[in-house]
C-alpha cells in the first residue's frame, strides 16, 4: 500500500486560454519544486494549449463562517 502523507501531491492543471481545470496529476515536490507546465489537449477549445499547475481544491472544501 502507498504511504499516507508522502512526498507526492495531487494538483490540478488549468488551461491558460480557457481557464478550465480539466486534468489532475501528481508530482513529487522534492524533485520538481517549481510549477509544472504541460502542453495538453483542451476539449473546450478543441486544440492543444499550455496547462499550468494549481492547487487541487481551489475553494471547494473551505469552511464557511457561521452567521
Q: pLDDT tens digits, residue range 19-65?
A: 888 899 999 988 988 999 999 999 999 999 999 998 876 555 455 55
Residue 19 in domain: yes
The answer to whether the pTM exceeds 0.85 is no
Domain span at residue 36 reads 8-55
pLDDT of residue 3: 66
Residue 48 in domain: yes
pLDDT of residue 61: 47
- Count of domains observed in the chain: 1
Identify the CATH number of the domain in which residue 51 sits.
Answer: 2.20.28.120
pLDDT of residue 56: 73
Q: Which of 5-9, 10-14, 17-21, 60-64 has the lowest mean pLDDT?
A: 60-64
**Cβ atoms 56, 12 nearer than 8 A:** yes
Amino acid at each position: 500500500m502507498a504511504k499516507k502523507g508522502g512526498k507526492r501531491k495531487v494538483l490540478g492543471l488549468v488551461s491558460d486560454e480557457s481557464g478550465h481545470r480539466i486534468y489532475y496529476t501528481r508530482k513529487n515536490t522534492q524533485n520538481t519544486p517549481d510549477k509544472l507546465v504541460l502542453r495538453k489537449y483542451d476539449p473546450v477549445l478543441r486544440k492543444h494549449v499550455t496547462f499550468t499547475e494549481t492547487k487541487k481544491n481551489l475553494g471547494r472544501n473551505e469552511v464557511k463562517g457561521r452567521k
